[in-house]
Structure 1
Amino acid sequence: MTQVWQLQEAKGRFSEVVEEAVKNGPQLITKRGIETAIVLSFADYRKLLLRQKKLSEFFRDSPLAGANLDLTRDTSPLRDEVVL
């Protein structure tokens, strides 16, 4: 489970925040109650990087790949001209 740290507390206990990230997963940092940052272990970071795909692979693997989509551009005017 992700632990939540207020920014001031995380600054003062940074070593502990990092240690918790290594042992227990991502640590959430908030600033004035707003989720602001995540501290990840390097192992978790590497996992995220390894799961990334190239954009071309994403489109090739899409459920819409091979679908018969009409991609012609509509050339009709968007709206009547406005007289000022």
Structure 2
Amino acid sequence: MTSFSVSSGDAVVHSLENLQTWKLEDAKARFSEVVRLARDADPQLVTVRGKDAVVILAADQFAKLLPLLKQPNIHELLSQSPLNSLDFESSGVQSPVREVEL
């Protein structure tokens, strides 16, 4: 089960288990209500054949999550480190080498 945190008014949703769940056919029949609840209350979970399929959430909540989707690469992480200006000597690993017959 996926965990996330979305501020929704005064409440904070921490996992899919806390969301109101709709079967696909019910969500289709009451789509306006699902959208209204997603905008005014919490994200809404829609299931297909009993399995989690999609989450409908307000656009402002989605906009808050977008920056979290960009995962920095290792170079970005290291260059942003407060320790990136340190200079150190790397002596390398000096281990014995054994002969191998081919």
For 1:5-44, list aligned pairs within 5 A: 5-44=22-61
Give the superposed CA RMSD: 3.0
Query: 1:57/1:26 Cα in 2 relative to 1: closer, same or farther (>3 Å)?
Result: farther
Larger relative strand fraction:
2
On the 8 A contact 1:2/1:24 being kept in 2, the answer is: no
* Aligned residue type for 1:3: Q
* Map of 1:46 onto structure 2: 63
Q: Please, what TM-score do these two structures have when normalized by structure 2?
A: 0.52
Query: 1:51/1:58 Cα in 2 relative to 1: closer, same or farther (>3 Å)?
Result: farther
Stretches of structure 1 that go unaligned for 5 or more consecutive residues are 67-84
Runs (4+) of structure 1 exceeding 6 A deviation are: none
Residues matched between the structures, number: 65
Percentage of matched positions with identical amino acids = 37
Stretches of structure 2 that go unaligned for 5 or more consecutive residues are 1-17, 85-102
Task: Measure, in 2, the Cα distance between the counterparts of 1:47 and 1:7.
Answer: 26
Query: 1:18/1:53 Cα in 2 relative to 1: closer, same or farther (>3 Å)?
Result: same
